[in-house]
Amino acid sequence: TYVVFAGMYVNTQTKHGDVFNYYKYRNFSNKNTFYKYFEAVFDRSVFYNPAVNIAYGDEFLTLSTCYYPMGMDVDTRFVLFARKLRKGESAKIDVSKAYINKSPLYFKYYYKVNGGKWAGRKWSKSLMQGYSKWLKEQDAKKTSSSDKSSTKDTTAKTTTKATTTKKATTTKKKT
């Protein structure tokens, strides 16, 4: 048994804007790939249900159908994402907590025709188990890399200044 946790409207043609290739990810070899993929899914989802969360290692089912609300020349899909029930989990899901995402991430042509723009990431981090911890780890890695770059930049600037000073001194001695 599977429970639906997201649904999105996606473009399939680059001439109409970004294409989200939802079908290319069937197995997630690491948590980075998993979290980045499902960030994109939740950004685009037209609804959320806090009663259903996902976790690295879960099994997923993706259902896709052709969808042409903008005409036959704009090739789009409506895609549903579902997660297999975990051992001991009930199939009775409280759908009363589900709500509509008023600003999902669409593609360029959609906004051109319908107006509007993406309001940014608004979904709850609790929709993905371990996501908050993963974000903190990513921030720590960025901070660590930034600190190392800062140190390298300072060292490089100091070396450049020393070299410039030497050249200037050498030039003065020759004249």
**Measured distance CA(45)–CA(6) in Å, rounded:** 5
**Residue 149 identity:** S
**Measured distance CA(168)–CA(157) in Å, rounded:** 16
Q: Confidence class of residue 158 from pLDDT cuts 50, 70 and 90? A: very low
As beta bridge partners, residue 8 has 45, 79
Q: Confidence class of residue 103 from pLDDT cuts 50, 70 and 90? A: very high
**Measured distance CA(11)–CA(83) in Å, rounded:** 23
In this predicted model, what pLDDT tens digit does every residue of 52-77 receive, in sequence order?
A: 999 999 999 999 999 988 888 999 99
In this predicted model, what pLDDT tens digit does every residue of 125-144 receive, in sequence order?
A: 999 999 999 999 999 988 87
156: pLDDT strictly greater than 80: no
As beta bridge partners, residue 40 has none
